[in-house]
């Protein structure tokens, strides 16, 4: 694993915007001089490194599925701040094995040892357009003879074909709260992969989904019953909404992407449960729910936090915090290991899973200790 620099393509901004990364300006703080998409640098991997990472990611995914079974079997919903009234719906969703499509593991990796799990974005993962499309086109333009860990597009199309969906169009829903366009473009891309799989699809805002009390079903603006709904609206938000009980109650008559049981995997309490179930596993960092215990350095992560907000890093050298409004739901305390330093920049590897198979890699960099909305996305390639 190496970090290299090179000159960006002429007119790269227009190129990536034409390929779907229309939000590369709006999704990034305006006071930063470094762009969100930065092709002036990239990472190089050997094929053996990628094969090792693929194996580790699929093992982690399998462990996560075992963790869901453990939570359901032992009723450990309180540890995950899942409301008790939602628990039967989570259990039923898992027992039915309601289908899932994709997720993203965030990993610490420096090329010299096993990757370490930082978190699993299993319900509403983003940076999909960058990972699947934009860096692939960059590779074909700049390093056409090299390879890339990137089968995301093909696997997504194949996954839609595998799903046992009901008749009628599949709805892809963003929220009007999306001010950057990232959510709209991500869902638009997912909708495109579903179109290529032969599905009939419809785009809709979450705010435009209505409840039909006569039919006891959700419906779109044309009064069509919604039988499949793909959303980037977190389940913890959905169950707290006025129509949360209907959403939970509709699990058996609708296909939700992602399914309700993903509430377990999209929660950072998962980190503590995995360490409890697999103590000492080479891909895990020690993590606890009741405090840092004997960890000499740790990071406090809110169970439902996003974009690195509301975190606290505690080391012998001092304490650092990030701003945010998360944390009322509780925290997990994970061993802190600084991200590896490559020329003053620290990468987080976003390893994608589609279905139950590893499918690709996206890398975000930051100069700080915590990866947040100021990070930049950089491409990668594989050399022989």
Contacts of 94 (CB under 8 A, 6+ apart): 68, 69, 72, 261
Q: What was the pLDDT predicted at 27?
A: 61
- Tens digits of per-residue pLDDT, 301-350? 999 988 788 889 999 888 988 888 888 899 999 999 999 999 999 999 99
Picking from 180-184, 262-266, 347-351, 366-370, which range would have the lowest pLDDT averaged per residue?
Answer: 366-370
DSSP-derived 3-state class of residue 220: coil
- Tens digits of per-residue pLDDT, 250-276? 988 999 999 999 999 999 999 999 999
Mean residue pLDDT across the chain: 94
DSSP 325: S
Which residue ranges make up each domain of the chain?
Answer: 2-267+340-383, 286-335
For the chain, give the percent of residues with pLDDT over 90.
Answer: 85
Q: What was the pLDDT predicted at 367?
A: 87
Report the alpha-carbon distance of residue 193 to residue 307 in Å, rounded. 26
Report the alpha-carbon distance of residue 148 to residue 342 in Å, rounded. 20
The three-point CA angle 44-268-297 to 5° equals 75
Closest CA to 334 of 370, 279, 292: 292
* Token pair for 33: 């001089």
Picking from 3-7, 195-199, 358-362, 364-368, which range would have the lowest pLDDT averaged per residue?
Answer: 364-368
Contact yes or no for 257/100 (Cβ under 8 A): yes
The three-point CA angle 21-27-31 to 5° equals 125
Identify the band that residue 22 occupies on the pLDDT scale cut at 50, 70 and 90. confident
First to last CA, the chain: 13
Query: For residue 243, which phi and psi values (nearest 5 degrees)?
Result: -95, 15
Mean pLDDT of 101-126: 96
Q: What was the pLDDT predicted at 57?
A: 98
- Tens digits of per-residue pLDDT, 11-21? 999 999 999 99
- Tens digits of per-residue pLDDT, 132-176? 999 999 999 999 999 999 999 999 999 999 999 988 999 999 998
Identify the band that residue 226 occupies on the pLDDT scale cut at 50, 70 and 90. very high
- Tens digits of per-residue pLDDT, 28-75? 666 678 899 999 999 999 999 999 999 999 999 999 999 999 999 999
Q: For residue 318, how many other CB atoms are within 10 A of its CB?
A: 7
Helix (H) or strand (E) holding 320: strand 318-321
Q: What was the pLDDT predicted at 99?
A: 97
| pTM score of the predicted model | 0.95
Report the alpha-carbon distance of residue 112 to residue 93 in Å, rounded. 39
- The single residue listed with the structure tokens 């930082």 is 118
């Amino acid at each position: 694993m190496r970090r290299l620099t090179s000159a960006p393509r002429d007119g790269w901004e227009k190129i990536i915007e034409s390929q779907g990364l229309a939000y590369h300006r709006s999704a990034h703080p305006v006071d930063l001089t470094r762009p969100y998409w930065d092709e002036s640098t990239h990472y190089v991997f050997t094929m053996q490194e990628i094969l090792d990472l693929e194996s580790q990611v699929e093992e982690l995914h399998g462990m996560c599925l075992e963790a869901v079974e453990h939570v359901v079997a032992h009723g450990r919903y309180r540890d995950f701040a899942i409301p008790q009234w939602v628990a039967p719906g989570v259990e039923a969703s898992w027992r039915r094995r309601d289908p899932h499509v994709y997720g993203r593991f965030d990993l610490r990796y420096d090329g010299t040892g096993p990757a370490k799990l930082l978190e699993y974005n299993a319900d509403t993962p983003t940076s999909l357009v960058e990972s699947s499309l934009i860096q692939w086109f960059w590779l074909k333009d700049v390093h056409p003879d090299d390879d890339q860990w990137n089968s995301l597009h093909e696997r997504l199309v194949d996954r839609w074909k595998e799903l046992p969906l009901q008749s009628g169009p599949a709805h892809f829903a963003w929220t009007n709260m999306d001010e950057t366009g990232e959510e709209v473009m991500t869902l638009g891309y997912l909708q495109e992969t579903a179109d290529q799989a032969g599905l009939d699809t419809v785009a809709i805002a979450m705010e435009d989904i209505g409840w039909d009390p006569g039919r006891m079903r959700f419906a779109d603006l044309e009064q069509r019953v919604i039988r499949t709904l793909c959303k980037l609206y977190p389940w913890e938000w959905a169950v707290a909404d006025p129509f949360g009980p209907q959403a939970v109650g509709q699990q058996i008559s609708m296909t939700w992407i992602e399914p309700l049981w993903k509430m377990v995997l999209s929660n950072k309490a998962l980190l503590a449960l995995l360490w409890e179930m697999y103590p000492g596993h080479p891909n895990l960092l020690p993590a606890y729910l009741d405090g840092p215990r004997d960890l000499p350095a740790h990071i406090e992560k809110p169970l439902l936090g996003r974009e690195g907000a509301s975190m606290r890093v505690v080391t012998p050298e001092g304490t650092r915090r990030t701003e945010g409004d998360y944390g009322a739901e509780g925290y997990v305390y994970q061993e802190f290991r600084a991200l590896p330093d490559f020329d003053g920049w620290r990468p987080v590897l976003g390893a994608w899973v589609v279905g139950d198979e590893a499918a690709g890699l996206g890398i975000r960099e930051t100069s700080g200790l915590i990866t947040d909305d100021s990070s930049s996305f950089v491409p990668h390639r594989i050399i022989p």
